C-alpha cells in the first residue's frame, strides 16, 4: 500500500518539485532580506549604544521573539490591507518571514558582538578607524563570521516556518503535498516525501555552514 502511495507521489513529482522550488525561493529571498534588515538593526543598535533608538529597537526585537510566526503571518496578511498595502499571499509570506527573522538575526549578531573581545575594537579605533569605517572593517567581519553557525540554525528555522505559509494559500512544499494527498488519498507517502525534501534542504544549509566555518578556520 505504501508502495502504491510512493508510485503515485513519484508520478506527481512535478507538483512536489514545484512546491520544493517555491519553498526554496521563499527561503532564499527572505533569508537574504532578513539578514540585510537584521544587519541594519544591529548596526543601528551598536551606533546609538544606549540611546533611545537602540532601546526602542531592542524592545521591538524582544517583542517579536515572543510572537508565534503563524500569528504574525496572519497579522501581516490581514493587517496590511488596513494600512493600504495589498499583497498577494506569496509577497505577504516573504514580507512576514523577512521582518520576523530580521529580529532573530539582529539578536544573534548582538550576542556575537557581546562575546567579541573589547580589545579588538579598541585596537581598531587606535588605528584610526571611527564610526561607520570601524563597524565595517573591524566590528562586522568577526561578528558575522562567529555568528555563521547560529545564522545557519536560524535559516533552518526559516525553512520550517515557511510551511506555515500554507495558511495563506502559498503553493509551497507542504501545500503541494497536501494537494497530492487530497487528490489521490496517499497521505503517508506524500507527507513523508515532503519531510524528506525539507530534510535535504536543511542538510544542504548545514553543509554550507560547515564549509563556511571550515574556510574561515583556514583563513585564520
Q: Kindly state the smallest distance separating residue 218's Cβ from another protein, in Å.
A: 23
- Which is closer to another protein, CB of 11 or CB of 75? 75
Residue numbers of the site for another protein (CB under 8 A)? 1, 62-63, 65-71, 74-75, 78-79, 82, 156, 159-164, 166-167, 173-174, 177-178, 181, 187-188, 191-192, 194-196, 198-199, 201-203
Q: Kindly state the smallest distance separating residue 172's Cβ from another protein, in Å.
A: 10
Q: Which three cell numbers stand for residue 190?
A: 506524500
> Nearest-CA neighbor of 29 among 106, 105, 101, 98?
98
Answer for the pair 143, 117: CB distance below 8 angstroms, yes or no. Answer: no
Longest dimension (CA), the chain: 71
Q: Kindly state the smallest distance separating residue 3's Cβ from another protein, in Å.
A: 13
- Which is closer to another protein, CB of 65 or CB of 136? 65
Q: Kindly state the smallest distance separating residue 104's Cβ from another protein, in Å.
A: 11
In angstroms, the CA 209 to CA 220 distance is 16
- Which is closer to another protein, CB of 117 or CB of 131? 117
What is the number of alpha carbons within 13 Å of residue 59 lying toward its C-beta? 7
Q: Kindly state the smallest distance separating residue 78's Cβ from another protein, in Å.
A: 4
- Which is closer to another protein, CB of 135 or CB of 166? 166
The distance of Cα 83 from the centroid of its chain, to the nearest Å, equals 25
- By CB atoms closer than 10 A (0-12, 13-18, 19+), residue 18 is middle
In angstroms, the CA 118 to CA 25 distance is 39
- Which is closer to another protein, CB of 82 or CB of 218? 82
Amino acid at each position: 500500500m505504501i508502495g502504491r502511495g510512493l508510485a503515485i507521489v513519484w508520478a506527481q513529482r512535478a507538483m512536489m518539485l514545484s512546491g520544493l522550488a517555491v519553498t526554496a525561493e521563499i527561503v532564499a529571498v527572505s533569508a537574504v532580506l532578513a539578514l540585510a534588515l537584521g544587519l541594519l538593526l544591529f548596526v543601528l543598535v551598536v551606533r546609538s549604544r544606549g540611546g533611545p533608538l537602540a532601546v526602542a529597537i531592542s524592545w521591538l526585537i524582544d517583542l517579536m521573539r515572543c510572537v508565534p510566526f503563524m500569528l504574525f503571518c496572519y497579522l501581516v496578511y490581514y493587517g496590511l490591507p488596513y494600512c493600504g498595502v495589498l499583497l498577494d499571499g506569496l509577497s505577504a509570506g516573504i514580507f512576514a518571514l523577512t521582518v520576523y527573522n530580521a529580529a532573530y538575526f539582529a539578536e544573534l549578531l548582538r550576542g556575537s558582538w557581546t562575546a567579541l573581545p573589547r580589545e579588538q575594537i579598541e585596537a581598531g579605533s587606535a588605528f584610526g578607524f571611527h564610526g561607520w569605517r570601524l563597524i565595517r572593517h573591524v566590528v562586522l567581519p568577526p561578528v558575522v563570521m562567529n555568528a555563521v553557525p547560529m545564522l545557519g540554525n536560524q535559516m533552518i528555522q526559516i525553512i520550517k516556518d515557511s510551511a506555515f505559509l500554507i495558511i495563506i494559500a502559498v503553493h509551497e512544499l507542504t501545500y503541494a503535498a497536501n494537494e497530492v494527498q487530497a487528490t489521490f488519498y496517499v497521505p503517508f507517502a506524500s507527507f513523508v516525501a515532503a519531510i524528506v525534501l525539507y530534510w535535504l534542504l536543511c542538510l544542504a544549509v548545514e553543509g554550507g555552514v560547515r564549509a563556511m566555518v571550515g574556510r574561515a578556520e583556514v583563513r585564520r
